[in-house]
Amino acid sequence: MTALTEFFERFLGNGLAADYCLAIWETVYITLLGTAIAYIFGMVLGVILYGTAQGSIFSNKIVNSVLGIIINIFRSVPFIILLILTQPVAKLIVRTKLGNPAFIVYLSIAAIPFVARMVESSLKEVDAGVIEAAQAMGCNNFQLIFKVLIPEAKPSLLTGAAIAFTTILGYTPMTYLIGGGGLGNMAIRFGIYRFNADIMYVSSILLILIVQIFQEGFTILGNMTDRRRRNNNR
């Protein structure tokens, strides 16, 4: 990541256009990395939430309610406070509390509980009859999760990922608090605090474009892979 960032700086010089390009790049990679890390942990938690629910494949009331409460706590703490509370975690993982790498840590921590709930709700959409049929075939829980639940929920998981990406993108302007970069940071620092409205507008329009591209991309991918739609299949 840093190599690419340096490449942008060297290649584009120090003009405003270069600042925009760098900011776009930073926004995209912060959001993508944050979403990806959040999904690695969020998927696991989502599957546990789904599986431990009452009447589900390995129902466990205690695990389910404890996990549910922890997730709700993390979801109710405002991001700006979570960012300060979890500084030791960033220090531990990326050896700094400041800048983009630290911000990705804060972003992931804030997004994991959200992603877990998204994954849980996608898995709940899988037809109970299909799960039952798989169990009747002698499927164990591991096979049930990886060969039935996740493949069957794939279109819904992709739609969920689009929502998660946009939500996580919405947190990125907070980088200005800890000396990170990105379009939101630019809009706040140059646009608002230095009264340069043009930069604010341009940054915002670029953010809108990024959201559009990723939202559409995920949605198209989700629909394309959904075999429940007749016209997708030849």
Partner 1 sequence: MIEIQNLSKIFNSKSGEVVAIDGINCTVHDGEIFGIIGLSGAGKSTLVRCINLLERPTKGKVIIDGTDITGVSAKELRRIRKNIGMIFQGFNLLAQRNVLENVMFPLRLVGKSRAAAIKKAKELIEIVGLSDRINNYPSQLSGGQKQRVAIARALATDPKYLLCDEATSALDPTTTTQILELLKRINSERGVTVIVITHEMRVIEQICDRVAVLDKSHIVELGKVSEVFANPQSDMAKELILPKNGSVPTSLARKAIRITFDGRSSFEPVISNMILECRCTVNILYADTKDIGGKAFGQMLLQLPEDENSCLRIRSFLESRQISYTEEAV
Chain residues that interact with partner 1, rule: CB under 8 A: 127, 129-130, 132-140, 143, 147-148, 151-152, 154-155, 225-230, 233-234
Question: Whose Cβ is closer to partner 1: residue 62's or residue 137's?
Answer: 137
Question: Whose Cβ is closer to partner 1: residue 155's or residue 181's?
Answer: 155
Question: Whose Cβ is closer to partner 1: residue 59's or residue 72's?
Answer: 59
Shortest Å, Cβ 211 to partner 1: 28
Question: Whose Cβ is closer to partner 1: residue 76's or residue 233's?
Answer: 233
Q: Which residues contact 102 (CB under 8 A, 6 or more apart)?
A: 87, 90, 91, 94, 96, 178, 180
Q: Are 203 and 185 in contact (CB under 8 A)?
A: no
Count other Cβ atoms within 10 Å, centred on residue 29.
17
Question: Whose Cβ is closer to partner 1: residue 86's or residue 156's?
Answer: 156
CA-to-CA dists, residue 195 to 191, 192, 199, angstroms: 5, 5, 9
Task: Tell me the three state secondary structure of residue 54.
Answer: coil
In Å, the largest CA–CA distance within the chain is 66
Shortest Å, Cβ 57 to partner 1: 12
C-alpha span between 144 and 226 (Å, rounded): 19
Shortest Å, Cβ 100 to partner 1: 37
Question: Whose Cβ is closer to partner 1: residue 147's or residue 194's?
Answer: 147
Residue 154, amino acid: K
Candidates 79, 93, 81, 101; CA nearest to 29 is 101
Task: Tell me the three state secondary structure of residue 179.
Answer: coil
